[in-house]
Amino acid sequence: MKLPAHLRSTLTGIEYPFERLEEFADSGESLEVVLPGIENARPRPGSRIWDRFAEFMPFEEAHPELSLGEGSTPLVDAGPALKGFTGLENLLLKNETANPTWSFKDRGSIACSIMAVERGERITATISTGNMGQSMAAYGARAGLEVIVFLPAFAPREKVLSMAVHGATVVRVACADYADMKMSVLGLASSLGLRIVSGNGPIRVEGYKMEAFEIFEAMGGELPDFIVVPTSACGHVRGIFKGFRELRAAGLVSRLPRMVIAQAAANSPIASAIRMGSREIVPFRDFTTIAEALTSGRPPGGEEILDKALEFGWLAEDATEEEILEAQALYARSGFFVEPGTATTLPALRKLTASGAIQPQSRVVVMLTGSGMKDIEVLGRQEMKILDCDQDDLEWKIGTFISKTHPHRGGMAVN
């Protein structure tokens, strides 16, 4: 029998009920789910990761009826080009773009759906400029929930439509600063009696834990040395690390991997602080970056991550706009089509191996968090081979192209 879970503030340890609507402690700290008896939790047989690790979850049941098929994503060898670029011999990619709405957010969204269904909440809300809103809209549709997504009025139209198509109500809020708007929307939870989930809320984090369990299973109980996570609100990195900590608490592993934070140089409040060994976030404002998914210039509750970085020896690096574009192309030429935010990981890793912070033989897993399909516009800045021709000059044009690019290939010559 599982004992009931509760929430605890991550820096000062103040306890709150599990049902709390607000995403953060009264002090503004992040909240974390505490699972009494986690030392005795054990994986059990089951076809879904959620069934196998049900004892590690705070919910009454695994709720397969709310699933859209998230998780069980591939953990694949990165291939020679990416290994060569980063200088790493043991580089694996956890491809979260294989989730139903093409990002890791789906794991957090099913956790939020389960929470709403088990509590009998009919409406759920979120604040998002992209992946989280789309994911919550899809999972809300599956669970029969009314979903409200708040986003800044300047969010691109295709992002609004990809949420609204699932039946969510999209509220476009006129605002000058997204971080300010986020705080005022989150502040409405208790007056509206509405659960408004954010990127660093305690329930989403429970969903992200599954990635740690999947890596543990896929590596046969071994652990990587480093896990590289493109970071914004910090919920994702917190969730993966919590999963490994719980595996350790349950006696299933004896050590923890070190986390590596990757951010865009234009907006790097967490990476800059970690590199300086600081416990204080200096906000970034008025930035522009092609890494649009990494929007948090002032991540609420992010100080906890700086604390963990110091305690557990985490690393951090950033990537310039040019480096991000180059990395997106490199990923794509290796078969992985990721969005620019995800592409921050390659330059960050390359810098860390070049400086000796990560050894060439280290076992490293990079989280491919979001699909390149989410931001088609940026592809206009990538070099591509696109030829135009008429039906009449098709043979001549392609023949010329092939003989120029592969002059010594075998097979028939084109006249």
Ligand X SMILES: Cc1ncc(COP(=O)(O)O)c(C=O)c1O
Which residues lie near ligand X (CB under 6 A)? 103, 130-132, 199, 230-236, 293-294, 339, 341-342, 369-370
> What's the min distance (Å) between Cβ of 103 and ligand X?
5
> What's the min distance (Å) between Cβ of 361 and ligand X?
27
SS (H, E, C) the chain: CCCCCEEEECCCCCEEECCCCCCECCCCCEEEEECCCHHHCCCCCCCCHHHHCHHHCCCCCCCHHHCCCCCCCCEEECCHHHHHHHCCCEEEEEEHHHCCCCECHHHHHHHHHHHHHHHCCCEEEEECCCHHHHHHHHHHHHHCCEEEEEEECCCCHHHHHHHHCCCCEEEEECCCCHHHHHHHHHCCHHHHCCCEECCCCHHHHHHHHHHHHHHHHHCCCCCCCEEEEECCCCHHHHHHHHHHHHHHHCCCCCCCCEEEEEEECCECHHHHHHHHCCCCCCCCCCCCCCCCCCCCCCCCCCHHHHHHHHHHCCEEEEECHHHHHHHHHHHHHCCCCECHHHHCHHHHHHHHHHCCCCCCCCEEEEEECEEHHHCCHHHHHCCCCCCCCCCCCHHHHHHHHHHHHCCCCCCCCCC
Contacts of 359 (CB under 8 A, 6+ apart): 353
> What's the min distance (Å) between Cβ of 114 and ligand X?
19
Place of tokens 């010559």: 413
For ligand X, the closer of residues 43 and 230 by Cβ is: 230
> What's the min distance (Å) between Cβ of 280 and ligand X?
18
> What's the min distance (Å) between Cβ of 293 and ligand X?
3
> What's the min distance (Å) between Cβ of 172 and ligand X?
18
For ligand X, the closer of residues 103 and 126 by Cβ is: 103
For ligand X, the closer of residues 195 and 236 by Cβ is: 236
> What's the min distance (Å) between Cβ of 276 and ligand X?
19
For ligand X, the closer of residues 96 and 214 by Cβ is: 96
271-280: long-range contacts at Cβ-Cβ below 8 A with a sequence spacing of 24 or more? Answer: 271/231, 271/316, 271/317, 271/318, 271/348, 272/316, 272/318, 273/306, 274/306, 274/309, 274/314, 274/315, 274/316, 275/316, 275/317, 277/310, 278/306, 279/303, 279/306, 279/307, 279/310, 280/306
Q: Which residue is nearest to ligand X (CB)?
A: 370
Rounded-to-integer distance, Cα 228 and Cα 286, Å: 26
For ligand X, the closer of residues 253 and 366 by Cβ is: 366
For ligand X, the closer of residues 54 and 132 by Cβ is: 132
For ligand X, the closer of residues 199 and 224 by Cβ is: 199
> What's the min distance (Å) between Cβ of 98 and ligand X?
13
> What's the min distance (Å) between Cβ of 232 and ligand X?
4
For ligand X, the closer of residues 154 and 396 by Cβ is: 154
For ligand X, the closer of residues 199 and 202 by Cβ is: 199
For ligand X, the closer of residues 92 and 233 by Cβ is: 233
> What's the min distance (Å) between Cβ of 78 and ligand X?
18
For ligand X, the closer of residues 129 and 250 by Cβ is: 129
> What's the min distance (Å) between Cβ of 11 and ligand X?
18
